[in-house]
Amino acid sequence: MTDPNPDHNPDPRMPIRRRDQPPTRPRWVNLFGIAVVVLVLVFLVLHFTGLVPMHR
Amino acid sequence: MTMTPGQRRFALTMHVVSSVGWFGAVAVFLALSIAGLTSHDSQMVRAEYLVMELIAWFVIVPLCVASVLTGIVSSVGTPLGLFRHYWVLIKLLLIIPSTIVLFVHMGPISLVSHVAAERALSTADLGLQIQMVAAAGAALLVLLVVTALSVYKPRGLTQYGWRKQRGSTRA
């Protein structure tokens, strides 16, 4: 049976969002961004301490 | 631009083959670079760096270019698009800089190979040898993440994807 209310939230764990509202950025994207920034910082620290030299 | 199902399957097959090949070639490159760094047999070390340059120019670079091109064709030619889903967008944002870094990194790879062709490597070349291991390890990590994104396809539409989806639903 189809849901008569299109804005009904079938998954109570997910925040309720109306169809005409733009989507929010998923949490995994934010976590991914943080992980990338941390890895880049670790690389820069290794590079500038001379542990990972970079020749061009 | 939408492809037929046959074209989609062909493009996807080419993308998977080139991507898996790229991953495997980088894994071999990493193994050789570790062996080159740790081995005490100077002849073996020289041979490894010569082989690494060949692998880089004739396997890694062509597979990288093929993977990027087939990936773009596969996404643009299907409803997935390049900028509609976060997982596709992040793949693109990881792969384009990685490809640029690979081309920049070809200089040091050729350099260490030319050194190995002329003489045995010494402690003065240790920096280059460490760089080979670090770059190959980082490349393998990026390719592992990209593969995981392709397999899991985590949910999430971008604002652009949402607008496009909304437009196509209304039309």
Task: Search chain B and give the residue with CA nearest A27.
Answer: B156
CA B14 – CA B18 distance, rounded (Å): 6
More confident residue, B169 or B158: B158
pLDDT number for residue B32 = 97
Nearest CA in chain B to A55: B108
Q: What is the average pLDDT score of chain B? A: 93
**pLDDT at residue B171 in the model:** 58
Identify any residues that bridge with B85 across adjacent strands, giving them in sequence order. B157
**Cβ neighbours of residue B130 under 8 Å, at least 6 residues apart?**
A51, A52, A53, B37
Q: Are B36 and B53 in contact (CB under 8 A)?
A: no
Q: What is the pLDDT of residue B39?
A: 92
Q: How does DSSP classify residue B85?
A: B
Q: Does B170 touch chain A (CB under 8 A)?
A: no
Sequence letter at residue B125: D
Angle at B116 between CA B111 and CA B119, to 5 degrees: 120
Give how far A32 is from chain B: nearest CA, Å. Answer: 9
pLDDT in tens, B1-47: 688 999 999 999 999 999 999 999 999 999 999 999 999 999 999 99
Task: Compare CB distances from A29 to B134, B156, B162 and report the shortest one's residue.
Answer: B156
> B155 — contact with chain A (CB < 8 Å)?
yes
**What single DSSP character describes residue B57?**
I
Residues of chain A contacting B104 with CB distance shorter than 8 Å: 56
Q: Do A25 and B156 touch (CB under 8 A)?
A: yes
- How far is it, in rounded angstroms, from Cα B151 to Cα B10? 18
B4 CB-near residues (< 8 Å, 6+ apart): none
pLDDT in tens, A1-56: 455 555 555 555 555 556 667 778 899 999 999 999 999 999 889 888 877 777 66
pTM of the complete model = 0.84
**Rounded Cα gap, residues A29 and A26, in angstroms:** 6
- Cβ-defined contact of A23 to B162 (cutoff 8 Å): yes
Percent of chain B topping pLDDT 90: 83
Both structure tokens of A11: 């998954």
> Looking at residue A53, what is its pLDDT?
72
* DSSP single-letter state for residue B9: H
- Pairs of residues, one from chain A and one from chain B, whose beta carbons lie less than 8 Å apart: 41
Closest CB from A26, A51, A55 relative to B156: A26
Query: Is ipTM over 0.90?
Result: no
B86 touching A (Cβ < 8 Å): yes
Cα separation, B152 vs B12, in Å, equals: 16
Cα radius of gyration (chain A): 22
CB–CB of A56 and B108 under 8 A?
A: yes
pLDDT digit string (tens) for B101-143? 999 999 999 999 999 999 988 888 898 999 999 999 999 999 9
